[in-house]
Amino acid sequence: MATRINKYLSEVGFCSRRVADRLIEEGKVTINGKITEIGTKVEESDQVEVEGQKIEKSAKQKNIYLAFNKPVGIVCTTDKRVEPENIIDFIKYPSRIFPIGRLDKLSEGLIFLTNDGDIVNKILRARNNHEKEYVVGVNRPIDREFIKNMSNGVEILDTKTKNCLVRKLGPKKFKIVLTEGLNRQIRRMCETLGYRVESLKRVRIMNIKLDLPKGKYREFTKEELLGLNRLLENSSKTFD
């Protein structure tokens, strides 16, 4: 049965479909020696290579799901050219995995890593409304107006952010729960309101909370994985 090339690379655990599409657009993926295009389908007899690396058609591997407490300074990329802050090289996990989403270099906290491309798309799809919770420190005292404006949405990147839960934790610290993931969203929201983010930590993704020392990872518990799958039951994927 023919499979779309991005789905194929995801199913064999090479990368997420999103990353696969980027590699295809960059001309780094070949099928039977010819550079392929997005949407091309792969047959069982086809030979797929990424940057000259042969992708083996092995039996379906065990899915890996990791929670990692990313330190400041680590870059969320699988690009081996990013050294020494590459998240994959930092973790040194024995099997091929990739991060679900991003935390920028100056941010820290919870991020998932996996070899399951389908779960990546379900979690990242903004319309699925999956919660991500952050604790943020800013450069000056927070007032009621700031909390109100952050909660009701801020104009950034030619759009208005969704309503969200914001709670003051201290004079210059607050908690925010987002259901979308615009580029550097919290930093941009704060900048628009005249504040500068000095610390940003993600402490929860959906039902999984940060409970690890900085720089350490662990596998999801059975209970966490069951809970996550329940939350994802009605979620759509980024790609068909």
Token readout for 147 is 């909390």
- 65-70/53-54 β-pairing: unpaired
The CB-based long-range contact list for 181-189 (8 Å cut-off, 24+ gap) reads 181/101, 181/124, 181/126, 181/132, 182/156, 182/157, 183/157, 184/104, 185/156, 185/161, 186/134, 186/136, 187/104, 188/154, 188/156, 188/157, 189/150, 189/154, 189/156, 189/161
- Exposed/middle/buried for 136, CB within 10 Å: 0-12, 13-18, 19+? buried
Choose the catalytic residue: 79, 104, 143, 240. Answer: 104
Residue 104 a catalytic site member:
yes
Phi/psi at 49 (5° precision) = -135, 145
Q: Please identify every residue annotated as catalytic.
A: 104
